Amino acid sequence: MNVDRVQVESLVPLAIYFLLVLGVVGVMLAIPRFVAQRRRSQARDEPFESGILSVGDTHLHLGVHFWPIAIFFVIFDLEAIFIFAWAVAVREVGWPGYLEMLVFVSVLLAALVYLWKLGALDWRTRRQQLQDSLLSERG
Pseudo-torsion of CA 16, 20, 22, 25, nearest 10°?
-170
Q: Lay out the site mask for other proteins across 5-44 (x = CB under 8 A, - = otherwise).
A: -x---xxxxx-xxx-xxx-xx--xx-xxx-xxxxx-----
DSSP state of 53: P
Shortest Å, Cβ 134 to other proteins: 17
**Residue closer to other proteins, measured from CB, 42 or 66:** 66
**CA-based nearest residue to 101, from 109, 71, 115, 126:** 109
Q: Lay out the site mask for other proteins across 94-113 (x = CB under 8 A, - = otherwise).
A: xx--x--xx--x--xx--x-
Tell me the C-alpha distance between 129 and 81, whole Å: 35
Shortest Å, Cβ 113 to other proteins: 9
Q: Pick the binder of other proteins from 82, 107, 114, 125 (CB under 8 A).
A: 125
Q: Does 121 bind other proteins (CB under 8 A)?
A: yes
Shortest Å, Cβ 42 to other proteins: 14
Tell me the C-alpha distance between 83 and 72, whole Å: 17
Tell me the C-alpha distance between 35 and 20, whole Å: 23
